[in-house]
Amino acid sequence: MHPTTLVLGVSLNPVRHSYRMVAALTHEGYPVVAIGSRAGEISGVTVHTDWPEKLKVHTVSLYLTPERQEPFIELLLAMKPRRIIFNKKTYNERLRDLAIAQDIQVLDACTLVMLVKGTYWGD
């Protein structure tokens, strides 16, 4: 059983990477929590608009620009994920520094490419 991934910044548009990521993770058997600005469903995964209580995840895959990450930084750090993946245009030096200070692994990478190449679950 794979650990849970939080995909933050999910779009309900099927051509967006965040949508494709939720679908791909689900297809590969990864449990997914999806949070976006609009409620919906992707491959059987509910897209939440609110932060679920008692959220425990292994990996956070970000699809929000640094400015849009701000309201979530404390929530992200409080749940103590093992790693945070900054996808294209999401790199946030402040969040990176805070995460590293809490021994959270930080990757500036593409989650979808990692999954396709078989490097997503390598730790």
Q: What is the pLDDT of residues 65-118, one digit of tens each?
A: 999 999 999 999 999 999 999 999 999 999 999 999 999 999 999 998 999 898
Q: What ranges in the chain are assigned the alpha helix state H?
A: 17-27, 66-69, 73-78, 93-101, 111-117
Q: What is the CATH number of domain 5-117?
A: 3.40.50.720
pLDDT (average), residues 5-9: 97
Question: Quick check: 122 pLDDT over 80?
Answer: no
User: Which of 118, 89, 90, 91 lies closest to 24 in space, CA to CA?
Assistant: 118
Domain spans, the chain: 5-117
The model's pTM is 0.93
Q: Tell me the pLDDT tens digit for each residue of 21-67.
A: 999 999 999 999 999 999 999 999 999 999 988 889 999 999 999 99
Collapsing DSSP to helix, strand or coil, 102 comes out as: coil
Judge contact between 24 and 61, C-beta under 8 A.
no
